[in-house]
């Protein structure tokens, strides 16, 4: 289906349930991994899952967000489901844009610290949510990364020679890593800049979205995703979190897991010519600035 045809089908489904939007402006957003999304009048977002597994994930995300929204200060989407057919969700749009590395680096000290304070509080609050209630709502372990030997097998044919030793060191260190002393927690586990609604004019974070990857995972893994924006931001978040929770986090562990994430994502895209260049770029850039 062409983008225009897809948008037409989505628009028809939306208007059937919301006839008051007949004259609204509809825009197809960049596709996600599991769903297509439509922006309506720059104030509403509708998500259409592509398959049954995506439908189940969207329903689970809606239930979990109902618990998260009442337990954290950070604004998150108020996701409402429509059974359809086709099944879809809608929520009020969180105002803001993605936060990328170059944009973060242009922020003044005050804005950087305020951002870290908001995210540190968000993680402290989401990690305190009631586990039995989350389990009853469908929370489950986060998706596991590809196993070490398979990562190396997949990436060696596509990895530049200069990065092979880096990959070997990273995977070896990961295999020797002890269990997280803080155990597991329910968390967001996707806190990169592509899931942030950042108001660049006001230099303020207005909320986070896309909780499809949330679930139970090792607590310190929560803090690796902001490294897609900046190590400086991650260091600030970690510092704020430690003050709020009294937990001491292992910076070297967070650095190592950030490296493993990039290699695992590269392994997952090794046979995908569309995404492979970007994943190689992530690994090369991270390795050039890293310490593993």
pLDDT of residue 84: 84
Q: Is the peptide bond before 111 cis (omega within 30 degrees of 0)?
A: no
Chain centroid to Cα 78, Å, comes to 17
Q: Residue 292: is its pLDDT beyond 60?
A: no
Tell me the two tokens of residue 291: 């310490």
The last residue of a domain, from among 54, 72, 92? 92
Residue 227 and residue 234 in contact, taking contact as beta carbons nearer than 8 Å: yes
Stretch 97-101: mean pLDDT? 96
The last residue of a domain, from among 67, 92, 117? 92
Euclidean distance between CA atoms 240 and 196, whole angstroms: 19
pLDDT of residue 31: 73
Q: 290 or 52, which is more confident?
A: 52
Q: Residue 2: is its pLDDT beyond 90?
A: no
Q: Is the peptide bond before 86 cis (omega within 30 degrees of 0)?
A: yes
Do 131 and 17 have their domain in common?
A: no
pLDDT digits (tens, 9 = 90+) for 134-151: 999 999 999 999 999 999
Report which of 103, 289, 286, 136 is spatially closest to residue 204, judged by C-alpha positions: 103
Do 117 and 178 have their domain in common?
A: yes
Report which of 225, 147, 131, 218 is spatially closest to residue 179, judged by C-alpha positions: 218
Do 113 and 166 have their domain in common?
A: yes
Q: 30 or 189, which is more confident?
A: 189
CATH number of the domain that residue 280 is part of: 3.90.1200.10
pLDDT of residue 291: 59
Stretch 55-75: mean pLDDT? 96
Residue 17 structural domain: 3-92
Do 178 and 271 have their domain in common?
A: yes
Half-sphere exposure of 45 (CA within 13 A, CB side): 18
CATH number of the domain that residue 84 is part of: 3.30.200.20
Name the domain count of the chain.
Answer: 2
Q: What is the mean pLDDT of the chain?
A: 95
What pTM did the predictor assign?
0.92
pLDDT digits (tens, 9 = 90+) for 8-61: 999 999 999 999 999 999 999 877 778 899 999 999 999 999 999 999 999 999
Do 122 and 259 have their domain in common?
A: yes
Q: Residue 263: is its pLDDT beyond 60?
A: yes
Give me the torsion for CA of 260, 157, 229, 171, rounded to 10°: 10
What is the Cα Rg of the chain in Å? 20
CA angle 135, 141, 144 (to 5 degrees): 170
Do 187 and 265 have their domain in common?
A: yes
């Amino acid at each position: 289906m062409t983008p225009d045809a897809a948008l037409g089908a989505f628009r028809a489904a939306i208007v059937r349930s919301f006839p008051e939007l007949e004259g609204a402006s509809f825009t197809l957003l960049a596709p996600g991994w599991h769903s297509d999304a439509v922006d309506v009048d720059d104030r509403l977002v509708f998500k259409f899952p592509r398959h049954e597994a995506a439908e189940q994930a969207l329903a689970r995300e809606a239930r979990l967000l109902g618990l998260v929204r009442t337990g954290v200060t950070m604004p998150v989407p108020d996701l409402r489901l429509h059974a359809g057919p086709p099944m879809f969700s809608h929520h009020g749009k969180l105002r803001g844009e993605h936060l990328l590395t170059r944009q973060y680096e242009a922020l003044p000290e005050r804005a950087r610290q305020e951002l870290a304070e908001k995210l540190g509080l968000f993680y402290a609050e989401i990690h305190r949510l009631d586990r039995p209630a989350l389990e009853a709502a469908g929370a489950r372990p986060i998706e596991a990364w590809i196993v070490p030997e398979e990562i190396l097998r997949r990436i060696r044919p596509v990895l530049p020679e200069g990065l092979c030793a880096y990959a070997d060191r990273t995977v070896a260190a990961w295999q020797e890593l002890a269990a997280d002393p803080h155990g597991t927690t329910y968390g967001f586990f996707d806190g990169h800049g592509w899931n942030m609604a950042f108001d660049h004019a006001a230099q303020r974070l207005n909320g986070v979205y896309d909780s499809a990857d949330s679930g139970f995972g090792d607590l310190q893994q929560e803090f690796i995703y902001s490294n897609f924006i900046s190590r400086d931001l991650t260091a600030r978040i970690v510092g704020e979190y430690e003050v709020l929770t009294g937990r001491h986090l292992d910076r070297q562990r967070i650095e190592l897991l950030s490296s493993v994430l990039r290699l695992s994502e590269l392994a997952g895209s090794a046979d995908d010519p569309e995404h492979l260049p970007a994943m190689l770029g992530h690994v090369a850039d991270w390795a050039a600035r890293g310490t593993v």
